Amino acid sequence: MTIAFNTFSGGVSTGVTSKTLAHTCSGSNRVLIVGVVGNQNPDDFITGATYNGVAMTLLETINPGNGSDRYGYLFYLSNPALGTNDIVVSASASSLISIQAVSYTGCLQDVADAHNQSSSATSATTYNSSLTTVADNCWVVSMVACTGVGAYSAGADTAYRGANYNAILDSNDLVTPAGSRTLNYVKANAGSWRALMVSLAPAQEPKGKNFAQII
């Protein structure tokens, strides 16, 4: 089964302990990815994310470590509920909470194929990060955040899905054979970068009956 982009949604609030964002999932073999940006150091203690009341799995947290960049979080949920439902991200202290969410169809209904994180303190308008997939025919998805103002866009071999403080981009194609896949990011103004990546494996096609089974 082939993976396909489904829908994107995003929003940001400041000085809150929770942020709610409506997101619509449709199709079959769905996966929902949520990228969150919170406060600068100290950590704003993001406590979790839910969709339609179901807890999402936290795959990665990135600590900028320099006291000026914001923390990033990557959440994952297999088989999210159909229709329009609320994503709710909670924090234990008043915070900026920026949510960018993206859903896909045709995905394996299991744990994420692979995930990682990377960062660069060097100020630049471009950045790239790579992930090595495990299964054949995966898609690679990334939540990126760059300090400073300016619009995000996609570099070579990368698709832009939407942004605010953080952005969601993906490979928009199959990684075959399995191996390293690089995504490329662009921002209008230079800043330091953080990237949280995940690969999505394709759903397995149902096995057909052979002739002996039929007769």
Closest CA to 21 of 100, 96, 111, 75: 100
pLDDT value for 10: 97
Inter-CA distances, 110 with 67, 118, 162, Å: 36, 24, 25
Taking 90 as the threshold, does the pLDDT of residue 140 lie above it?
yes
Q: Does residue 139 carry a pLDDT above 70?
A: yes
Q: Among 127, 115, 107, 113, which Cα is nearest to 178's?
A: 113
pLDDT, mean of residues 195-206: 91
Residue-wise pLDDT tens digits, 185-197: 999 999 999 999 9
Here the tokens at position 115 are 């995930």
Around 87, how many Cα atoms within 13 Å sit in the side-chain half-sphere? 31
Domain boundaries, the chain: 4-203
Q: In the structure encoding, which two tokens stand for residue 161, read together?
A: 């899905």
pTM: 0.92
Dump the DSSP string for 147-202: SSS--EEE-TT-EEEEESSEEEEE--S-B-SSSEEEEEEEEEEEEEEEEEEEEEPB
